A and B are shown apart, each in its own frame.
Chain A
Amino acid sequence: MIYTSQALETLIGEFSKLPGIGRKTAQRLALHLLKAESEDAERLAAAILDVKRRIRYCSVCLNITEKDPCSICSDAGRDHASICVVEDPSDVIALEKTNEFHGVYHVLGGALSPLEGITPDQLRVRELLNRLRGGVTEVILAMNPDVEGEATTIYLGNLLKPLGIRVTRIARGVPVGGDLEFADEATLVRALEGRIVV
């Protein structure tokens, strides 16, 4: 039903397609923009277009980037013999925040899930194999700790181990800075299974 104008309705409709935005929030955002200065609205519109025009996938690691290869892949100071394989670009951001990993990444674009039709062909597995020819010594598998992530880890492990490369997976356990009593039981069981000698 159109109460005001077609233009406003169209904007509300577009906002409500975004994840986490319902009809009410979309309406609030649209009315807010209507009240805002024209320059503000133009900056927002330009930023949205820029994202689509300037951002592409890095031809090496398949992370999102503005320049190709991306800043991580073109950084000579990083260890290019060590590749950390992750599911999504957001995982790269999370790992980069630690400032502890100095190797490079490979973004698979998801995890194996036959139920959703995601097979190795839908993931960037072939691209990963192609990268391993150039003196890579370690591949770190950093998938999400669910069944799909686990199967992906096993799949890649079986694929890479015969190539004579050191293949590791990240540990699973208790979060740092939290009390042990608040960790959920499944996490504690995994942490116990992965215990190490002091």
Chain B
Amino acid sequence: MRVRKVQLTSFRNHAESSLEFTGGINFITGANAQGKTSILEALSYVCLTKSFLQQADATVPKFGGERFAVDAILETDKNIVNHVRVAFDGAAGKRYFLDSNEVRRSADVIGMFPIVVLSPGDFALTGGSPAERRKFADLVLSQVSRSYLEEVTEYRRALKQRNKILLDGKLSNAFDGDLLSAWTDALIAHGSKVMARREKFVNEFQDAFSASYRSLVDSGEVPGLRYEPSFRVETDIESDFRKAIRELGRAERARGATLAGPHRDDISFTLNGMPLKEFASQGQHKTFLVAMKMAEFGYIRGMLGETPAMLLDDVMTELDYSRATRVIQAVGTLGQAFVTATDMLSFDDKMLDARETKFHFVREGSVVYENA
């Protein structure tokens, strides 16, 4: 997939900005707070229906307004051209249009125009809380499987309902055992499916991950990924899930919350069999992160048969020079990339020679082309 054009209307500090992109590497440069990241955010809206920054839609309209719109021309690997429009209005909410037909469920478009984002917010992936890693797995799986997205949504709903019963019971000190058990069954039915998908995903992802790690580091280090469920799986997920809930019964009632299930999963990283979290250097964490993102690119492309676009936000400052260069070169030879940076000097000639490149200079919410 490649983005040919995008137009931002009343989006963050962009009143009206239009950009035409190359299918190779697009460098978006400018000083701080001029609106570079906003352009990547707009691309996230048209491809994933939402911002990768995890911010509410209502924060996006340009100061003083209630609306924003993003229009984009997207072209798939099979050269099918789509016009996508995302329009937000404080009163009516967000609406998504694909070739002027409204798409009501985001699940119907997520995965059509895949993207992989590497932004400063991702640096918590390897060292941060388990929630970061669950979010990663969910985002990748949602892009390759619509049924996973629905399954995880239903699981969250069942979890909320069950937690309400536990919390009400804790506060009133009265439990309806039959009611709780019905929601336990619904929780286990959906949760087991979510867990099975995540386990399979981690196993499949492992190979792509090892390969991209080795392309970054010339050493004999063996990186590893392991799926870590919230309870021990010995026979099969469903019956062990049930066993865990049974054993946690008293604790759940005391805490007023569900204590086992995919909402407490983790994915652990290892290097030569040792847990990354405990001993790795900052540099090794960064290498792991970059390897994860490159593997995500390869995994999504393999599963969907559609090349994702790579959005690299401020990686030149966050990563060191050689890692950043390698990741840009690697994805730049495979598909379309968008790279934001404060100055052009940080890109060296090797990067620029690799593929067709284009520079977009952003100043105070406008895009300027020097030689145009």
Identify the A interface with B (CB < 8 A): 112-115, 119-120, 146-148, 150-152, 154-155, 158-159, 184-186, 188-189
Contacts and interface: CB of A to CB of B under 8 A. Distances in A.
Nearest to B151: A186
B181 interface: yes
B150 A115 contact: no
A150 B186 contact: yes
A120 B180 CA distance: 11
Nearest to B150: A186
Given A147-B161, A185-B146, A186-B150, A112 B182 contact: yes
Contacts of A113: 161
A147 B157 contact: yes
Contacts of B186: 147, 150-151, 154
A181 to B, nearest CB: 14
Interface residues of B, number: 26
A113 B189 CA distance: 17
A151 B176 contact: no
Given A152-B182, A159-B178, A147 B154 contact: yes
Contact of A154 (B157, B162, B165, B185): B185
B158 interface: yes
Interface of B is mostly: helix
Nearest to B154: A147
A114 B168 contact: yes
Contacts of B161: 112-115, 147-148, 151
Interface string B132-163: 00000000000001110011001001101110
Interface of B: 107-108, 145-147, 150-151, 154, 157-158, 160-162, 164-165, 168, 176, 178-179, 181-183, 185-186, 189-190
20 contacts: A112-B183, A113-B161, A114-B162, A114-B164, A114-B179, A115-B161, A119-B176, A147-B157, A147-B158, A148-B161, A150-B186, A151-B182, A152-B182, A155-B178, A184-B107, A184-B146, A185-B145, A185-B146, A186-B150, A188-B147
Contacts of A158: 178, 181-182
B190 to A, nearest CB: 7
Contacts of B178: 120, 155, 158-159
Nearest to A184: B146
Nearest to B165: A114
B182 A186 contact: no
Nearest to B159: A147
Given A151-B158, A151-B161, A158-B182, A120 B176 contact: yes
B147 A119 contact: no
Contact of A189 (B147, B164, B165, B190): B147
Contacts of B165: 114
B157 A186 contact: no
A155 B158 contact: no
Contacts of A154: 182, 185-186
A151 B107 CA distance: 24
Given A115-B161, A115-B164, A147-B157, A120 B150 contact: no
Given A147-B154, A150-B186, A154-B186, A112 B179 contact: yes
A123 to B, nearest CB: 11
A76 B190 CA distance: 42
A154 B185 CA distance: 7
B179 A147 contact: no
- Looking at B145, B154, B186, B190, the one whose CB has the most chain A CB atoms below 10 A away is B186
A186 B142 CA distance: 13
A163 to B, nearest CB: 14
